[in-house]
Amino acid sequence: MRKNIVAGNWKMNTTVAEGVALAKEVNEALAGAAPKCDVVVCVPFTHLCPVAAAIDQTRLGLGAENCADHKSGAYTGEVSAPMVASTGATYVILGHSERRQYYGETSETLREKVALALENGLTPIFCIGEVLEERENGTFNEVVRKQVEEGLFNLSAEDFGKIVLAYEPVWAIGTGKTATPEQAEDMHAWIRSVIAGKYGNEVAENTSILYGGSCKPGNAAELFAKPDIDGGLIGGAALKCADFMGIVNAF
């Protein structure tokens, strides 16, 4: 059975002190909540160690927002998968559209990152999604199929089973314009069929596919009610404990 997951992506927000306070607040809110999903916060690299020390990871999972495409060496400014794992984090967001768009990440570099994340026991939250032009010109299914195939289909079925996918239509990120539950469900079902074509039905049925893009307490329940939507990857609304918990409690 696949897991339901609500994961926050804090992006480049909060100081260390603010981030630790937010993580503690979420951790405490979860203690009394009995959520019907796994809950994760993905935080800036600088925040990983202090947040790891401040939360109970049996209740609130911790992840990074990226990792390097090399294991170690002369790559000034980069943070490797073994470094992320050594903080106690167990998740890593890979291939976010902001990384693809602003930092030139390609399927080729992402394959390296995914391999290193898996080698170091991290669960990749692998992001895919089309831009507005591709939504409007009708190529969105093919664009997303290609992202999944090129980024992940080199994996064995066993390794693919460790991946969490996040469908994030780029036109819905930070714009207040959410995909309709029907648009999101159609895409999630398509992604699952693409996975089934490569790895078979069982692997496809066991893959968690999260939705991301202007997901909020007010629209999470109708998105999560769809059969192929297994949770959310949350940007802006993850920065306020009450909003994030509102989404967690939508399950």
| Residue 233 is a binding residue for ligand 13P (CB under 6 A) | yes
Which of 118, 121, 124, 116 lies closest to 92, judged by CA? Answer: 124
- Is 147 buried (19+), middle (13-18) or exposed (0-12) by CB count in 10 A? buried
**What is the four-CA torsion angle of 88, 89, 90, 93, rounded to 10 degrees?**
-160
**In this chain, which of 213, 228, 243, 251 binds ligand 13P, going by CB under 6 A?**
213
Instruction: Give the DSSP H or E segment for 191.
Output: helix 181-199
Q: Rounded to the nearest whole angstrom, what is the least distance from the CB of residue 216 to ligand 13P in the complex?
A: 8
Which residue numbers are catalytic?
A: 96, 168
Q: Which of residues 69-98 bind ligand 13P (CB under 6 A)?
A: 96
Strands (E), the chain: 5-9, 38-43, 61-64, 91-94, 123-128, 164-167, 209-212, 231-234
Q: Rounded to the nearest whole angstrom, what is the least distance from the CB of residue 151 to ligand 13P in the complex?
A: 16
Considering only the stretches 132-140, 141-149, 157-165, 207-215, report the one whose residues sit in contact with ligand 13P under the rule CB under 6 A. Answer: 207-215
Considering only the stretches 70-78, 104-112, 133-141, 210-218, report the one whose residues sit in contact with ligand 13P under the rule CB under 6 A. Answer: 210-218
**In this chain, which of 174, 197, 200, 218 binds ligand 13P, going by CB under 6 A?**
174
**In this chain, which of 38, 105, 130, 168 binds ligand 13P, going by CB under 6 A?**
168
**What is the four-CA torsion angle of 201, 202, 207, 213, rounded to 10 degrees?**
30
| Residue 235 is a binding residue for ligand 13P (CB under 6 A) | yes
| Residue 234 is a binding residue for ligand 13P (CB under 6 A) | yes
Which CB sits closer to ligand 13P, 174 or 218?
Answer: 174
Three-point CA angle 153, 158, 163, nearest 5°: 65
| Residue 214 is a binding residue for ligand 13P (CB under 6 A) | yes
First to last CA, the chain: 16
Point out which residues bind ligand 13P (CB under 6 A). 9, 96, 168, 173-174, 212-215, 233-237
